[in-house]
Amino acid sequence: MQASDRAPALTPVWTPRRAGASLVAMSGTTTCPGCGLRLPASGLPPDPRRNASPECWQLYGEVQGFALHHLGLVRDLHQLTVDAYAAQHAPREVDGDLPAISVAYALVGLQLALDRGASGGEVRAAHQRMGRPDRSWPRLATPARSGAMTVFDVAAAGAMVDSVAGHATAVRAWAAAVWRAWAAEHAAVAALADRLLANTTDQPPSEPCPKPRH
């Protein structure tokens, strides 16, 4: 089932709660440009810095908020959640010559976690060692379809029913689906990770590390 098919069944707690939202805006739905998730419109303006509807971004925040109350989810799955969301909301058009930094970080994170079994802490350490993108990094083409699951599935299995185990299972399945959607770039991402991480082992970064945009 497509996540969008379930959108009308959203419980009121997940309805955007912005007091100033107009009735006109509240009456429609939005479709997230990154993941395709349809949710009731909140009236919030889209943020041009991210390829996500404001409603999808808000739901992602709610999912992260649920996880923050559970130490095991924070420790084991926070990084995977961040990387899955960023990879699923990669921009279709890339400005300039450099890949979007958040996307490259996210894909290397998914590769390390899902193909190599790295922990969240290990992925974060790898991100710190990656440095800034330069022209040697591959241009990673965003797939036309970003996976059959969305952050809505994580919310439905976890936060909406107060299930830590459901959240954990859904995050892993969602991240795996997103990573599969990027199959055409798996080899390029693995090569990038190998090169960047092999060259920087045990060496501190020469300048403050950029933080991925989340």
Instruction: Considering the complex, state which of residue 39 and residue 112 has its C-beta at the smaller distance from Zn ion.
Output: 39
Separation CA 212–CA 103 (nearest Å): 8
Query: Residue from 35, 73, 123, 168 that binds Zn ion (CB under 5 A)?
Result: 35
Instruction: Considering the complex, state which of residue 126 and residue 149 has its C-beta at the smaller distance from Zn ion.
Output: 149
Taking the CA atoms of 139, 140, 141 and 142 in sequence, report the sign of the dihedral they define: negative
Closest CA to 16 of 4, 1, 28: 28
Query: Residue from 3, 14, 34, 175 that binds Zn ion (CB under 5 A)?
Result: 34
Query: Residue from 3, 52, 82, 106 that binds Zn ion (CB under 5 A)?
Result: 52
List the alpha helices (DSSP H) in the chain.
3-6, 23-26, 54-67, 71-88, 101-110, 120-130, 151-157, 164-181, 186-200
Q: In the range 54-113, which residues lie near Zn ion by CB under 5 A? A: 56
Tell me the closest approach of the beta carbon of residue 169 to Zn ion, in angstroms: 20
Tell me the closest approach of the beta carbon of residue 89 to Zn ion, in angstroms: 6
Given the rule CB under 5 A, which residues bind Zn ion? 32, 34-35, 37, 52, 56
